[in-house]
Copies of this chain bind each other. A is one copy, B any other.
Amino acid sequence: MAEKNLSRAARKIAPFKVMQISDQARDLEVQGRKVVHFEIGEPDFPTAMPIITRAKKVLDQQLTKYTAGNGIFELRERITERYSRIGVNVDPKRIIITNGASGGLLLLLGGLMNPGDKLMSTDPGYPGNKAFASTVGAFLKLITLSISNDFQPQLADFQQNWEDAVKGILLASPMNPTGTVVARENLDELSKLSVKKNGFLIVDEIYQGITHKELSYDSALQINEEIYSLNSFSKYFGMTGWRLGWIIVPASTADHFIKLAQHLFISPNTISQYAAIEALSDSCSEILESRVKIYAERLKVLTQGLEEQGFVIPVKPDGGFYLFVDISHTGLDSEEFCLRILREYGVAITPAFDFSERYRSDYVRMSCATDLDSIYLGLERIKLALKSWGV
């Protein structure tokens, strides 16, 4: 049988638990149940109309051929402009447009890691990271973040755990699932540690722009311009299905990454690239900024409603559209909690299993990529559930 030929990477990948929840939610909906969706990691807003309009124009112009492997110059130039507004000087040559942040992360790990190398990252963290590391033959070494430190990564932990095989660090800010923005001083310390160790630092900034407090920096590139920054048009720009992202690499490595991108991807999606120029325009900015305010309002409502019911959200999100919620007072482990509340009350929530070894049993991730009415309905249903379960 053909399974015998599967690689270790293919064998050891666990399915995302969120997919199991989504599938079951869909099944309930097919049966006619109204499901409240707190499980979804995708903005509920449609792609903004100016972007749609631009894409249609691009189709009329039949701009559907391959582009340069690192993306069209005009888009990279617009990204450069965007960084210049926060005082960061990024030559368009250092920007590589990718097939979503997924393509960007693959390109970064493919360009920076050899088989056997280790990459330090955080628990909790994005569950996809492991598959990217496995695919290039590398391993994740996860550093557990603690609630007492507000999920902030600590220099000492990374320093102590930096063994010979470690080649670099991958952080996310704002982080999925906790919404933590890495504090400037912590990021600065970890950047300096990487430099000292001759390693690299990748910062996943795909939730950049969706932030809910005054920050002391907007991009990791303000800390050190040799940081590898990973970004996306999916979240803030609301272009998930368009599969477009970008990475920024140090000038001295750009040629290598451009070559690798040409070989691995040929080029990013052409229509998406031209449309993304519009996403960076002033005409979109107002629409996108208003959405950030809506996420903030939803997070506030959901936080308050959950806390009234005895749920603990030990660290409030600085950014993104998720809450990382302690459900231990329900007496259920997170997977049981999520499966029961979905089946019995039609509320879809992601258990922390995908995101964390340490917090997997007691925590869930609740997404606010759903409208306020649904949030209120979800809160009511959760209240009924707890009551019927005798919590």
Report A's interface with B, CB cutoff 8 A: 1-11, 13-16, 19, 42, 46-47, 52, 55-56, 59-60, 62-67, 69, 99-100, 102-103, 106, 110-116, 127-128, 130-132, 135-137, 167-168, 198-200, 226, 239-243, 249-250, 252-253, 256-257, 259-260, 262-272
Q: Distance (Å) between the CB of A189 and the closest chain B CB?
A: 19
Indicate if the CB atoms of A114 and B137 lie closer than 8 Å.
yes
Q: Which B residues touch A257, using CB under 8 A?
A: 10
Q: Which B residues touch A253, using CB under 8 A?
A: 2-3, 5-6, 10
> What are the nearest 9 A-B pairs in CB distance?
A241-B270, A115-B115, A131-B263, A115-B137, A137-B137, A2-B250, A10-B111, A110-B135, A47-B64
Highest count of chain B CB atoms <10 Å: which of A60, A110, A249:
A110
Highest count of chain B CB atoms <10 Å: which of A66, A252, A259, A271:
A271
User: Closest residue of chain B to A227, judged by CB?
Assistant: B2
Indicate if the CB atoms of A16 and B262 lie closer than 8 Å.
yes
Indicate if the CB atoms of B266 and A100 lie closer than 8 Å.
yes
Indicate if the CB atoms of B13 and A260 lie closer than 8 Å.
yes
Q: Which of B2, B67, B243 contacts A269 (CB 8 A)?
A: B243
Indicate if the CB atoms of B264 and A102 lie closer than 8 Å.
yes
Indicate if the CB atoms of B198 and A4 lie closer than 8 Å.
yes
Q: Which B residues touch A55, using CB under 8 A?
A: 59, 271
Q: Which B residues touch A249, using CB under 8 A?
A: 2
Indicate if the CB atoms of A3 and B256 lie closer than 8 Å.
yes
In the complex, A209 Cα to B62 Cα: how many Å?
A: 23
Q: Which B residues touch A136, using CB under 8 A?
A: 7, 9, 135-137
A7/B252 contact (C-beta < 8 A), A59-B52, A136-B137 known? no
In the complex, A250 Cα to B2 Cα: how many Å?
A: 7
17 A-B pairs within 8 Å (CB atoms) are namely A1-B252, A2-B249, A2-B250, A4-B198, A9-B260, A16-B263, A47-B62, A52-B64, A65-B240, A106-B135, A130-B263, A241-B267, A241-B271, A243-B265, A243-B266, A243-B267, A269-B269
- Extra inter-chain contacts (4) besides given A7-B111, A128-B263, CB under 8 Å: A11-B256, A13-B259, A59-B59, A131-B264
Q: Which B residues touch A13, using CB under 8 A?
A: 256, 259-260, 263
Q: Distance (Å) between the CB of A281 and the closest chain B CB?
A: 17
Indicate if the CB atoms of B6 and A112 lie closer than 8 Å.
yes
A135/B15 contact (C-beta < 8 A), A112-B6, A241-B66 known? no
Indicate if the CB atoms of B262 and A9 lie closer than 8 Å.
no
Indicate if the CB atoms of B260 and A10 lie closer than 8 Å.
yes
Q: Distance (Å) between the CB of A105 and the closest chain B CB?
A: 9
